[in-house]
A and B are shown apart, each in its own frame.
Chain A
């Protein structure tokens, strides 16, 4: 057995789950899968229920003042935890890169200190598994052809690097197909998709076409918003490809599916 398949590397660690508002509301299977994987690794997972949202919908639309309540809520919900883990490169990236700026704007020195500290303890689930738990094989089994879309914010804001690929490569039965023009944006961009719908759709169509060209059964990513965008295009194009969050693949084990 290699070192990376150590059974329960999370023993003794408490992880606060940052479900993200979009997954909490629209894609509950993703945070559920996060809980399953982390518990399987031996972690104790808690869900601070005061949590709401990272606030980036407001921040990225230019409404900084309206994002500040989200920062306060985030600090209140997660202030006491050493590890805060979320299944979204984008929401985690927003917490890490935008909360300090927003807190500064609030002119509340206490919030500023707290937000900066909490932000630095917030990790994407792929970072937590690979860096903190020190494993890439989480005992998953997923006998399917998949292709992976590295979402822009996971790649360029949160900078998860090749961790998702490492995790996918360790999944038994999984065949990973290369996505052409992988690093090109899917065109979602939050309110961009509403403010510039024509450009957004054209970008999503490119992404969906590239994904379909791989012949994969599943399109994997670490952000449900992007998956919803590309998935919406695939569904409209009557494609058989299914969007799925990375962590849902990691939660899937042989012979035991919830």
Chain B
């Protein structure tokens, strides 16, 4: 097969689902010192800003509670709200399509674009289209998809993948951005001004110049939606740059790809979410551009309006009454900004367009636990709980990480049924569980540890290198010797007279 010439910059080869296990990918990312510096600076800055933006709100906790409650109601009655949404959208002149999975969604979108005869589309930043890898599907069908969000543009031109849901180029600094613009813009449209420096304003102006002709030329736009309002049949896009507004108003045809969990019962609910989302994501009191459209309106904006409602694994998550709380997510990114693990490795280590804590609980639910990366994601956390604290819709992320660990372990156990070589970990856990089931067994184990400590203690004050898997600890950190007397021993000597109860 000879490769067709590409219309848009090629992303890195390979499918995300085939990514290595998190620990392996994390080690790779940790080796990128420049990226680590970029990530640290960016996450710490946005963290502090968010804390201030949220700190101003006296009723923040009530808002979070309301946000969580509304989303819970949606998840409990999802079929009803979706039908209502379809009805309202149709009444407003939009056409509603249903897609079970990524392939079906891509097929629908491609057919809709082909109907218009257009060979290119402009795109509003959208997680749903990232998730279904729409751009590549379009490319294969001879349609060029142009990202218009500044950071998405940087990622696209950089032949890269987003590493964050809100700040896709968080892993890049401005001098890298300058190089990408100078190198790539000219190949795909208006080139960057020759003497471009790395001043942020100048970089933004270069992007404006590059995108302008695409906006003015485009016949078709593709968006996602932050919210889909069932009672009024309205879609809402929340953004900062105005590129979304351009895409949503200029072209003839507008196709919106929306996850089924994005539905809100009523327009009034936006009151809650429009307070929660901007403060949690960009740490602003209000974002610069909020576009709301309800189908097509004659003589104003796109006349050919389509909405593709996508499942793509969401109903799998919905089937787990505990795990489905992850579907409350409004993609604000606060959990990844606060996450000490994300801060170290960035989004690429998670092998999904949804990185960070939410990715760690969402991917194994919507994609399942068959792939190596999805199995490793629930363990990609120290369970520090910082994410749970900031989530604007009160998703108990840390608790769900543990819940998903249980599911991964159960899946592995089910697979190894009847297999005669048990893995080391289940055997260790089983033995440990047995020891802790009776204090006499624990005391016997302590005796062994003390004997070890007694011998070692004569040579050094900490344990030398330990065998695998504990070597992973002692390679970099010292471990104190176990003392020669446990607390139990002390109690027996010093409080022997103390009777229980």
Contacts and interface: CB of A to CB of B under 8 A. Distances in A.
Interface of A: 19, 21, 23-28, 30-32, 35, 45-53, 55, 57-70, 72-73, 77, 80, 97-98, 152-153, 155-157, 183-185, 187-204, 228-229, 231-233, 235-236
Nearest to B396: A97
B476 interface: yes
B384 A196 contact: no
B76 interface: no
Q: How many of chain B's residues touch chain A, expressed as a range?
A: 35 or more
Given A45-B495, A185-B386, 4 more contacts: A49-B488, A196-B22, A228-B479, A233-B476
Contact of B437 (A27, A73, A203, A229): A73
A192 B383 contact: yes
Interface in B420-451: 425-426, 429-430, 432-439, 442, 446, 449
Contact of B384 (A21, A23, A152, A198): A152
Interface stretch (B137-145, B251-259, B465-473): B465-473
B436 A199 contact: no
Contact of B487 (A23, A67, A68): A23
Given A28-B486, A58-B432, A73-B436, A47 B476 contact: no
A229 B489 CA distance: 25
23 contacts: A26-B480, A28-B485, A46-B499, A46-B500, A52-B438, A55-B436, A57-B432, A60-B383, A62-B402, A63-B409, A66-B434, A69-B437, A70-B437, A152-B384, A185-B382, A185-B386, A189-B381, A192-B379, A194-B470, A194-B472, A196-B26, A198-B23, A232-B479
Contact of A199 (B341, B432, B439): B341
Contacts of A49: 439, 488, 500
Contacts of A47: 488, 491, 495, 498, 500
Main SS of chain B's interface residues?
A: helix
Given A69-B433, A232-B478, A153 B385 contact: yes
Contacts, number: 207
Nearest to B429: A63
Contacts of A61: 405, 409, 425, 429
A190 B405 CA distance: 13
Interface of B: 22-23, 26-27, 30, 340-341, 344-345, 378-386, 388-389, 398-399, 402, 405-410, 425-426, 429-430, 432-439, 442, 446, 449, 462, 469-470, 472-473, 475-480, 482-483, 485-491, 495, 498-501
A232 B476 CA distance: 8
B385 A195 contact: no
Given A49-B488, A52-B442, A69-B433, A64 B406 contact: yes
A21 B398 CA distance: 23
